[in-house]
Amino acid sequence: MAVRVALVKDSIRKDGAVFARVVQRNKVDFDTLLSFMDKTTGLSENDIRSVFLQFAEALVFYIPDGTEVQTPIGTFKLNMHYKGATEDEALAPQDRKYSADDMRIQLRADRGLLERIRIKASVSVVDTPVILTPALTSVTNADLDGTSGSGSPGQILHIQGSRLSFDKADKEQGVFLIHSGSSAATRLTVYSRIGSSIVDGKIPELEAGQYGLEVRTRPTDKDIRVGTYDGVIAIA
């Protein structure tokens, strides 16, 4: 599966420059990671968990004094995050107020590891700054432990992406399920959450079949913008 990126206008440079931002945010929890490593190393999950905990303790031991910690996945080191410096403060650094709260841990990935990831990865541009349509990154079933690809009337679809917000009072806006056979569009009318990055809506009564999904918004007074989910949803 390709990494999904959006091309976003650079608000600082005014020459039409854009930058790429990853919009796909799939996650693997720690237990899933342990299970994978258990099968590929022969070590028990408890042993691997203990190693991770001891690794964290090693970082706490070495990093606080500015020591860089080199590992097979990359180098861990401290960095400072500071905002709000005035021009006068820039001329008098000793007058700035820094604290440990401004510290961040930075990982500089090992070049060999990064190259292996680049070889396996591919990139899909899902959005451009020319037409700012809703961008859908995932659609899961909140009533089926976040699984994707299926649902039943009454269950909640959890939609993630960007620019998803709409006016549910406008019947031309909202989440629509598109029947793959007839292309008939059915609008979801019940929502528990409508936000720019997350929408939760109840599947209405539908005949069983395969459905596509669209989010339709109206960011201006007249133009409907449509974002299309690239998967299908089997309604039982």
Backbone angles phi, psi at 103, to 5 degrees: -85, 145
Instruction: Yes or no: say if 79 and 105 are a contact pair by the CB < 8 Å rule.
Output: yes
Which pLDDT score is estimated for 16? 62
Question: How do the domains of the chain map onto residue ranges?
Answer: 3-125, 132-235
Which pLDDT score is estimated for 233? 93
Which pLDDT score is estimated for 41? 87
Q: Which residues pair with 54 in a beta bridge?
A: none
Q: DSSP letter string over the chain?
A: -PEEEEEEE-SS--SS-EEEEE-------HHHHHHHHHHHH---HHHHHHHHHHHHHHHHHHGGGT--EEETTEEEEEEE------HHHHH-GGGS---GGGEEEEEEE-HHHHHHHHHH--EEEEE-SSS---EEEEEEEGGGTTB-SEE-TTPEEEEEEES----TTSTTSEEEEEETTT--EEE---EEEE-SSEEEEE--S--SEEEEEEEEE-SSSS--EEEE-SS-EEE-
Q: Which residues pair with 127 in a beta bridge?
A: 6
Measuring CA to CA, which residue among 185, 164, 146 is closest to residue 227? 164
Which pLDDT score is estimated for 93? 58
| Domain range 3-125, CATH class | few secondary structures
For the chain, how long is the longest CA-to-CA vector?
Answer: 70
Instruction: Yes or no: say if 129 and 107 are a contact pair by the CB < 8 Å rule.
Output: no
CA 139 to chain centre: 12
CATH architecture of 132-235: Distorted Sandwich (2.70)
What is the CB neighbour count within 10 angstroms for residue 126?
A: 21
Which pLDDT score is estimated for 83? 52
pLDDT tens, position by position, for the chain (236 residues)? 678 887 777 666 656 677 788 876 678 889 999 999 998 888 999 999 999 999 999 999 999 999 999 999 999 999 887 555 454 455 455 566 677 888 889 999 999 999 999 999 888 887 665 557 898 989 999 998 878 889 999 999 999 998 899 999 999 999 999 998 888 999 999 999 999 999 999 999 999 999 999 999 988 766 888 999 988 999 98
